Chain A
Amino acid sequence: GEDVEQSLFLSVREGDSSVINCTYTDSSSTYLYWYKQEPGAGLQLLTYIFSNMDMKQDQRLTVLLNKKDKHLSLRIADTQTGDSAIYFCADANSNSGYALNFGKGTSLLVTP
């Protein structure tokens, strides 16, 4: 199947910005998502972006999409210790009923 790749680990200091990167291979991806999973908890949808957009901002979160390079990033401004979690990138398209194809997740550790 098509791949979604993410770096496995990121460590930042509290108050700094975090940037989590993701690449995907499916050129028919029409929607891209970021999910957050805290320890022992379920998956929480953070934000999503349509493939015809190149940026979406939602409070401290900024998603950038480079469709040509199939590269997606999630920037978290003023990162807090409560942002420590695993962040999953996922893509989907209408051909597969919007079933999500996930990356393996990036563990974000925020240190005081």
Chain B
Amino acid sequence: GAGVSQSPSNKVTEKGKDVELRCDPISGHTALYWYRQSLGQGLEFLIYFQGNSAPDKSGLPSDRFSAERTGGSVSTLTIQRTQQEDSAVYLCASSTGQSYGYTFGSGTRLTVV
């Protein structure tokens, strides 16, 4: 597609449940990033994929968070045993892997009740 697509756009889940958030990057973009935006913490880097290299997971806040990218395209961010502090907007971005040309998706608003 023309842009970065994220689904679902909104997700409400009960505390303790697992959730999966999906990102479809722009076709041909080799780099994919996940960020989290919350009121208290601003925009936080979570994880980064570049081509076939091992992902940079340095921003993941706990081992309840994981992400994978299948076939170098679609990515799924999984949060296990969700907590209320996980409530945030999760943003995905893709790029050509160079220093410019980041395109962000509209995000998934996650609410843990």
Does A62 lie at the interface of the complex (its beta carbon under 8 Å from any beta carbon of B)? no
Residue in contact with B56 in the complex, picked from A43, A96, A103, A105, CB distance below 8 Å: A96
In the bound complex, CA of A61 to CA of B69 (Å):
36
Does A9 lie at the interface of the complex (its beta carbon under 8 Å from any beta carbon of B)? no
Does B104 lie at the interface of the complex (its beta carbon under 8 Å from any beta carbon of A)? yes
In the bound complex, CA of A96 to CA of B100 (Å):
14
Q: Taking A42-B91, A97-B31, A99-B33 as contacts, is the C-beta distance between A104 and B100 under 8 angstroms?
A: no
Does A21 lie at the interface of the complex (its beta carbon under 8 Å from any beta carbon of B)? no
In the bound complex, CA of A104 to CA of B99 (Å):
21
Cβ of A92 and Cβ of B91 under 8 Å apart? no
In the bound complex, CA of A108 to CA of B113 (Å):
32
Does B71 lie at the interface of the complex (its beta carbon under 8 Å from any beta carbon of A)? no
In the bound complex, CA of A105 to CA of B35 (Å):
15
In the bound complex, CA of A102 to CA of B59 (Å):
13
Closest to A48 in B: B100
Closest to B43 in A: A102
Cβ of A97 and Cβ of B106 under 8 Å apart? no
Instruction: Report the minimum CB–CB distance from B113 to chain A (whole Å).
Output: 21
Residue in contact with A42 in the complex, picked from B48, B50, B56, B107, CB distance below 8 Å: B107
CB-CB contacts below 8 Å: A52-104 with B: 88, 90, 92, 94, 96-104
Residue in contact with A97 in the complex, picked from B35, B48, B104, B105, CB distance below 8 Å: B48
Which of A92, A96, A97, A99 has the most C-beta atoms of chain B within 10 angstroms of its own C-beta? Answer: A99
Hey, which bits of chain A sit against chain B, CB under 8 A? 30-31, 33, 41-45, 48, 50, 88, 90, 92, 94, 96-105
Shortest 3 CB-CB contacts between residues of A and residues of B: A102-B43, A104-B42, A43-B104
